Structure 1
Amino acid sequence: MGNEINMHVELLTYTPEARKIAFTAIRTCYSPTEPSDLFEGVQYEKYQEQTATDGQGGSDADRLFRHIVGSGHTSTMEHINFTFALEGVSRVLLAQLTRHRAGFSFSVQSQRYVSDASDKKKGGFHYVVPPKIADIPEAAEYYAELMENLQAAYDKLAQLGVPREDARFVLPNAASTNITMTANLRALLTFYSKRRPGRGAQWEIAQLAEKLRQEVVKAEPWLDPFFEQA
């Protein structure tokens, strides 16, 4: 259906030795040992080798992480950063996402500098279709027709010499964009707690929250329980 697009989320890079960094940050707060020695020394290995004393399984390092997250001392998790490619998300989602400012950095594809004209590289603007519209054939048909009309309006303005920064005013909230986003772990956990599926968030941003969690946990499986607690 036209330039309809689906969301794609990919983890591009993240803090190396994230678990060891978290351990160093936590122990810096409660130990007389210098951070450089905590990171390079034997304490981390000892915590990794010893069985957790809280009866919840894993190593003593796992116990330490559980205690810190459970006690709310999650500033120590701000040292772990994740950078994602977010592709094919709507401008509706962008407006919601950028309300989460603390701990997030965003670089967004510009409608001012990237043309959405049909005869340019993108081949026109791409757009997101809400499931509740897609599920009703008549609504889906009307929606697609509307998108085509808006594309025609953009193209006409471009042909008349209207600059992209002004022609974009006719594009809808449904128009998709691409984002490079970096967030620290604490910010991601807070975001997930507010936007995860089942918490009343709109479908698209709830879908994003879950995809972000999946990408993080795939890279660092030890973080899974902390998203479950969020």
Structure 2
Amino acid sequence: MNVKLLAHTQLSEDFYEGDLVGTDFHDYHIDNEATDGQAVALSAIRTCYSPNKPSEIVTLEGAKYFGKKASDGEQGTEADRLFRMIVRSGHTSTLEHLSFTFAIEGVSRALLAQLTRHRVGFSFSVQSQRYVRFGSGDRSGGFDYVVPESIKNGGTAPSNDDEGIYVTFTAQEYFEDAMTQLQYVYDRLRKAGIPAEDARAVLPQAAATNLVMTANLRSLLEFYAKRKSGKGAQAEIAQLAEELKNAVIAVEPWTRQFFESK
């Protein structure tokens, strides 16, 4: 599995250079004490309660929220306190304005089926098994597959041939033999003239796929709460939940507390 953040919410150059130069937020931003995501979140949250216009909020209220320590005795600034208050009150629709786009590579179709159950706030573009051909002789070189950790670490079981001779194989050997057989069947079907869109019917849930996914912060927090390790999620999607969390925290460090409280 490989997860890479392709894009995330950032202030427009027009707004940053035109409205924020010379303000306290500009200085905090330069000093890496405030992020673009925090500015967008503050604008959205305060729009609900402030007489100021959305385009003015960071300029007029930035010093109050980013320039003072949190008055609730917890970490960070008054902005962090406000964000905590919003999350605890459940008014998290205001966090939907922060979005993140990920390249997710080498995950199983089984994971994809689970992932796409999280529909609200998520957008998906997935590698097609209809248009991408997965024959051994195609550009793909055949289908890749994901081996579950339980199978990698699994035990052994006997198998007998037609002559009644028993041989012991590991779980991973059985699994990989099945993948080889399915590749053979897929190749035979394609050679028989079966179109890729129908030959794909024999590809397993373990078949690897790639996708681009965009999700807003609120949806990612809810996804993480359901799919993180220890919540009964399958290991592969629990790993994805951690990868997504880490990618978000890397660019918006203030969100760590909300992932960790889930």
State the TM bucket, normalised to the shorter chain: over 0.9
Moved more, 50-59 or 124-133: 50-59
Partner of 1:112: 130
Q: In 2, Cα distance between the equivalents of 1:45 and 1:80?
A: 21
CA shift, 1:47, in A, is 1.1
**What amino acid does structure 1 have at the position aligned with 2:9?**
T
Partner of 2:54: 35
Partner of 1:190: 222
**What amino acid does structure 2 have at the position aligned with 1:222?**
W
1:75-124 per-residue CA deviation (whole Å, 9 max, x = no partner) reads: 00000000001100101000000000000000000000000001111100
Partner of 1:4: none
Give the alignment of 1:86-105 within 5 angstroms: 86-105=104-123
1:9 aligns with 2:41: no
Give the alignment of 1:130-141 within 5 angstroms: 130-136=148-154, 138-141=170-173
Report the structure number with the largest CA radius of gyration.
Answer: 2
CA shift, 1:45, in A, is 2.9
CA shift, 1:46, in A, is 2.6
Q: In 1, Cα distance between the equivalents of 2:171 and 2:119?
A: 35
**What amino acid does structure 2 have at the position aligned with 1:13?**
A
Give the alignment of 1:1-230 within 5 angstroms: 7-16=1-10, 17-39=36-58, 41-136=59-154, 138-230=170-262
Q: In 1, Cα distance between the equivalents of 2:116 and 2:63?
A: 39
Q: In 2, Cα distance between the equivalents of 1:188 and 1:134?
A: 30
1:113-137 per-residue CA deviation (whole Å, 9 max, x = no partner) reads: 0000011111000000011111136
Q: What is the Cα-based RMSD across aligned positions, in Å?
A: 0.9
Q: In 2, Cα distance between the equivalents of 1:71 and 1:33?
A: 23
Q: In 1, Cα distance between the equivalents of 2:246 and 2:128?
A: 28
Higher relative contact order (CA 8 A, sep 6+): 1
Q: In 2, Cα distance between the equivalents of 1:163 and 1:62?
A: 55
Q: In 2, Cα distance between the equivalents of 1:151 and 1:47?
A: 58
Q: In 2, Cα distance between the equivalents of 1:186 and 1:229?
A: 14
SS in 1 for 2:97: coil
SS in 2 for 1:54: coil
Q: In 1, Cα distance between the equivalents of 2:71 and 2:238?
A: 36
TM-score in terms of structure 1 length: 0.95
Q: Which runs of 5+ in 1 are unaligned?
A: 1-6
Structure 1 outlier segments of 4+, above 4 Å: none
TM-score in terms of structure 2 length: 0.84
Q: Aligned residues: percent identity?
A: 58
Q: In 2, Cα distance between the equivalents of 1:86 and 1:220?
A: 19
Moved more, 162-171 or 41-50: 41-50
CA shift, 1:57, in A, is 2.5
Q: In 2, Cα distance between the equivalents of 1:106 and 1:52?
A: 37
**What amino acid does structure 1 have at the position aligned with 2:96?**
E
1:154-177 per-residue CA deviation (whole Å, 9 max, x = no partner) reads: 001111110000000010000010
SS in 1 for 2:55: helix
Number of residue pairs the alignment of both structures matches: 223
Q: Which runs of 5+ in 2 are unaligned?
A: 11-35, 157-169
CA shift, 1:51, in A, is 1.4
